[in-house]
Each structure stands twice: as C-alpha cells, then as structure tokens.
Chain A
Amino acid sequence: MGYVAVKGGNEAIERACRLFAHERTKGTSPPLGVEQIKEQLYLAADRVMGEGSLYAPDLAALAIKQSAGDTFEAAFMLRAFRATQQRLGYSLPSSTEKMRVVRRISSAFKDIPGGQILGATSDYTLRLLDFDLLKDDAARRRAFREQIFSSLPADAEIPETFPKVIRILRREGLLEETLSAAHPEERAFDITRQPLTFPASRSAKLQALARGETGGMLALAYSSMRGYGDIHPTLGELRIGYLPLTVPHPATGEPYVAGEVKVTEAEVLARMQGSDGMPRFSLGYGICFGQNEIKAISMAILDRCTRTEKPNCPAEDPEFVLYHIDGIEAMGFCNHWKLPHYVDFLSDLDRLRKAQEMARAGKQQERRRC
C-alpha cells in the first residue's frame, strides 16, 4: 500500500529544497548579483528591511535573491538573522528635524516652510510599460545620467534642517498635546524581548506597526478610510531621508553618531474632540525603514485609529490590529496548514461520523413514533 508515507521523509525534504534552489538557476540569463538587487530593486530591499526589522541593505538584497523575490520569505530570513545578533544597546532618541531630507511633501498646506520637495517618486509617472527598458545597457545609462545632470544648476543651496509642518498647528492650539507629554514612558518597551500585553504602551504599539507587513497594514488602514471606521486623514507631512543614528559610547557613555538610516516618516491629521471638549486635530504617527510611503502612511492611520476611545470597527481595535499585522507571524501560521494534520483530522472525522450516526438514529426513532 502506498498510502502510509512515513519513511523517506528526510530525502524527500532535501530534494525539495534543492529543487527550489534549482528553479532559480535554471534559466539562461546571467546570475542576479546582490549588488544589483540592492541598487536596482531598492524599494523591495527597503520593504524587506522594514518588515524584517533589521537595517541591512546587503542582507536584505541577499534574502530577496535567495527567496526568488518573495518578500515575506526575505523578511523572515532577516528576522531570523536578527535573532542571532547580540543586543549591544539602544540608540538615543533622534529628532527627525535633523533628517537629511530627500523628499518631503504636505497635503495640508499649499506652501510649507522649507518648501515641498518631490524627490524621487513614481507618483506622477504614467503607468505605461516602457519598452525602452528592454534595451537597457551601460551606454544608455551613461547617456541618461549625462542628460539629467547637464541641465542641473551647479550650486543650489540645501537647508540643513526643515521645520515640521505640525509645529504650525501645535503653536495655534489646533493640535492635541504631544502624546509623550501626556503619557511619559520611562523607557521604551522592547517587543523583541517582552511579549505584547494590552493595553499596549505607545512605544510597543509603534514598534509592532513599524515592522508590520505593508499589505496587511494597508488593508486595515484602507478599511478605516473607506468607511468601516471614520479616520479621514490629511497628510500633514511625509518625509523621506537619512536620519542620524546616535548611540551612547559603550565606554564613556558620550553620545556619538554611528551612522545614518534611511527612513520614511508620515504624520497624519484627523479631527477629534480633545480631552477638554475642544475640537482639535489629532496626530497619527508612522515611521519605517527605507522608502515605503504606503506603509508609513498606513502606520500613521492605524496609530490614530487605535487611539479611538470606543472602537467601532476592526481597524480601531488595538488588539485586532497589532495581532494581525505581523506578516512573518501571519505567513508562518498560514503556511503551517500545509503540515500534516492527520491526527486531528482523524479525530474530526470520528466525531462527524458519530454525530451523523446519532442524527440518523434520532430521525428513525421519530419516524417510528409517528
């Protein structure tokens, strides 16, 4: 009987793994370099770093190559690698005003102090396939670069810092007080060391959101803005740039800049009634590694939604949101259904057969009584 497949599991597994690696290598195209992924598919690498919660562009690119472009798997590898690394310490809080800005927009005000900086974005591109890209090569790239740089002014001045748009509203009392002032936390809750409990502290919530899965967060945020909830946000400011990372020196404790990380930050405004009864804007905050505007905006919306006093819909329930947005946990559980469930299923079968038997017997008895 070929039904009982207990033996030979080891070899089958090994061959399946090797076949997966082979699938990626069987074409005739030249092997994809990790540098190429990092440079040319940088948005994929950024997304994987965010969801994998490890800022490591090279490793993210490697993970993307290895997983054949599956961003869930790639983020999973980064998370697993992260767990092997020793925790050296925590960085010091850093103001995003000091960010080296490459893109900054506001949809609340037409003109903002410091100006709107569109930066690199696909927002205004027509989504038409560019068949010229089929003929991409070094010479074309050189020509394209020359064309771009030849028309640029040589010495445009770049301001050192850009003021925050929300400051203007705060100054006028149109924005709720800062949350950190209302609920000070002595030190940040570390979700990689402690399990989430509810009500979750704000630092725990923001961490969970910062490493949540883009698609899942988008779906929940979209449900709220579309009608199952009532957060209709205005994007106070969205900025992308490089944030200096300051850490205390391990020996002296003096702060020093260890490097910088590329982040996307979103601040959304939604109307609310303040604790003093005055109508105000409230702030939703989102930040994530790399350039991932969908995720930062979704995070900011979910941050705001989950502060609603009486949750009316899934996106407003902090437990619902925080337990379901982690892509790595969700995909792991979803995939686990592929594992054998022979034992529990048999137990189900037994109960079902028994129940049917009882039902039939009951019906016969009833008939007899009539």
Chain B
Amino acid sequence: MLMREWLQKEAQLRNDETPIAGYPFGFMDEGAKKEIRRSILKAVAIPGYQVPYGSREMPIARGWGTGGLQITLSLVKPDDVLKVIDQGCDGSVNAVNIKKFVATVAGVTITTDTRAATLIQTRHRIPEERMSGRQILVLQVPYPEALREVEPSEMETRRMHAEADYSRMWLFLYEDIVKYGEITISYRYPVTVNGRYIMDPSPIPRWDVPKLHMADTLFLFGAGREKRIYAIPPHTTVEPLEFEDHKFRTENFSGKACARCGATDTYLDEVIDNASGERRFFCSDSGYCDKRRLAWNP
C-alpha cells in the first residue's frame, strides 16, 4: 500500500465510532479474546495449574502487566466498572496508564472504590476490603512459576508439577530455617491450591495470602511475558507452605498506624520524610485509606 492510501484509510478510520480509531473494542480481535477466555476456563477448572496461552503483543511493554491486561480486555464489557491498582495505589503511574488504555479501548467507567468495581486489575496487592462473588480480581504476574527459585528449567518444573514432586521446594524452606532461623521469602510466598498444585500467588505480600483462602471472589492470574494463565476459583482452599513447628507468618505492623487515616489493621507503606529523614507509615491501599478519611470528614 502506498503511504498516501494508508493516510486516507487512517483518516477514514478516525471518523468511525470505535472508541479508538483503527482498533477494535477491547483492542484485541474477537478471536484472541475468545482464545484467552477458553484458557481462563481451563485454569478455573484446574485450580493453580498454569495454562499456556498465545500471549499477544500489547501496546505497553512486556513485564508491565500485559498478562493481566489481556485477561481484563478479554473479559471487559462496556457496562463494567474498572479499578486498577499498582502496589495498592490507584494513582500509581502504571495503574493510571493501564486504566486510561482500557477506558479508551472499551469505554468503561473507572473507579477507585473496591466495592463499586466489577473488575479489578492489580499489581502486587489484594484490596483491604473483602470482595464479593460478583467481582473478579485480575493479578499481573511477573513470574508464574513458584518452583523457579529451585529449578531454572521450564521443562523440569512442568515435570515436577505433573508428578506433584515438591520435595525441593520443601527442602528450600527447611534450609532457610536452618540457615536463618526464619523463612526469608517475603512476597510471592508459595501456596498449595485445592490440595494439589503449588502456585505463585504473584508478588503480593504475605499479608494478602490469607485473603485467597476460601474467598468469594474469582482470582485470575495472567503472565504475559511468560505466556501463562492460572486461577483460584471462589471457595477454594489456598494454604501457604508451612511446617507444623514453623508456621506461616504475615508482615507485622504492630505498634504502627497509618499517618493519614489512623488504620492499624492494614498493610502499610514506609515513607521517608523529605526534610527530616523521619519515617512515617501510610496505608498501601490508597482507595481504602481515602474512604476511611472521607468517613471522618464527610
């Protein structure tokens, strides 16, 4: 095609009524969205199992949430209410960027209120407020393979999952305790889903791991770069790996409170004051923090 013809076609597309000129609803073609939804169904049917899928190129970089984005785009409907968070924050650069993009290609309403959202895409946090069965939480996943820490080869980890051969993972945890007296895995704490697969819960802090257990909500995990989708269906057991004499522990914020809303029961961010170098704590879930403050000073 000559450049001139290209330009004419482009001008024509711009006048069409699609949300963004030249691109279909939800950015991806219908075939791709259907294919991803089928992978999601398989993932839901086998909790914690990593379903390979044909990850598409997104207009944001690999590793910036393209896996989550593809799930979101394949599920989103025009009447959905979307919330996107990054490290708990609605205003974080990546969250703003993804939100803007989905709103542009799918015309959805945006919210920062966890309760109001129908679809939530998140990086590294599960909202503090309990979510319902009508909502879906989509997690962006950098490393889908929980066994990667102990085995670099994908072929080998697939075999280990198939045979439920998790001895090396248990040994890794045991050695950690022997060496440090403590398990040093901070975020990405491995969990057993439905008594079968060991799964990487994405880099959520240990704080959020208990929220996955027997939840009302469907959790979908998308790893775009690594081309894997997996899921935790509602009302499914999710148990962090632990020993009888060395139990799983979440981060400890006792004695600390959010400097904005006073919460003592939330995951807190440490912030260093500009001038004094003093440290203060704030809720990582900014939407929840805003809501609590508003309740005080309506």
Contacts and interface: CB of A to CB of B under 8 A. Distances in A.
B133 to A, nearest CB: 32
A227 B6 CA distance: 44
B275 to A, nearest CB: 8
A227 B270 contact: no
Contact of B97 (A114, A124, A271): A124
Range, interface on chain A: 20 to 34
B274 interface: yes
Interface string B1-28: 0010011001000000000100100000
B269 interface: yes
A228 interface: yes
| Chain B interface, >50% SS class | mixed
Contacts of A115: 274
A228 B143 CA distance: 13
B7 A131 contact: yes
A237 B222 CA distance: 28
Contacts of B282: 110
Contact of B277 (A111, A127, A168): A168
Contacts of A110: 87, 89, 269, 271, 282
Contact of B271 (A109, A126, A230): A109
B272 A112 contact: yes
B60 A126 contact: yes
Given A127-B60, A131-B10, A227 B148 contact: yes
A50 B7 CA distance: 37
Interface string A106-122: 00011111110010000
B296 to A, nearest CB: 23
Interface of A: 109-115, 118, 123-124, 126-128, 131, 134, 168, 226-230, 271, 279, 313
Interface of B: 3, 6-7, 10, 20, 23, 58-61, 87, 89, 93-94, 97, 101, 143, 145, 148-149, 152, 180, 184, 269-272, 274, 277, 282
Given A110-B282, A128-B59, A131-B10, 11 more contacts: A109-B272, A110-B89, A111-B271, A113-B272, A128-B23, A131-B7, A226-B148, A227-B148, A229-B152, A230-B149, A313-B152
